[in-house]
Amino acid sequence: ANASTEDEAGSDVFSMRTQAVRDGDSYVLNGSKTYITNAPIADLCVLYATIDPTLGPLGVTAFLVETTNPGLELSPPLEKMGLRTAQMGRITLKDCRVSADAVLGREGRGVKVFESAMEYERGCILATTLGAMRRRLEACITHTRTRR
């Protein structure tokens, strides 16, 4: 799961409120993520939190977190109108402690990790849409050639 979206952030993903506070050789995460694809079934997630909200995107840090980690709670799947093969859910963090080794890249460089993950995700979304469009186009061509 790639956990970035929050209720209050809307389309401005980097105005997140989920916080990561350094505590010795670990971080304590608090906050929540919503509309996270694969959250109800994920074993592992890339989770984004800010080390300092006043830094905006420069405060975002990416963490690799196991979903069995104490303090991390997964919701049941959210109801959706379509794309039911990809479950979506919420992740809630309450004093979820992760090792400093869980930081992906460097502290404050989570935007780079996010952009890299989104390149792949956008490609997958485009591929399924193109496939559906091709199927519809072929159906239209077949109908046009056979209609009277």
Tell me, what's the pLDDT at 129?
80
pLDDT at 60: 93
User: Beta strand pairing status for 26-37 and 19-23?
Assistant: antiparallel
Count of domains for the chain:
1
Which among 8, 66, 121, 138 is annotated as catalytic?
Answer: 121
pLDDT tens digit sequence for 73-127: 999 988 888 777 788 999 999 999 999 999 998 888 888 888 877 777 777 777 7
31-41, pLDDT tens digit by residue? Answer: 999 989 889 99
Write out the residue range of the structural domain in which residue 102 sits. Answer: 2-146
Residue 119 annotated to the active site: no
Handedness of CA 1, 34, 103, 23 (dihedral sign): negative
Who has greater pLDDT, 110 or 72?
Answer: 72
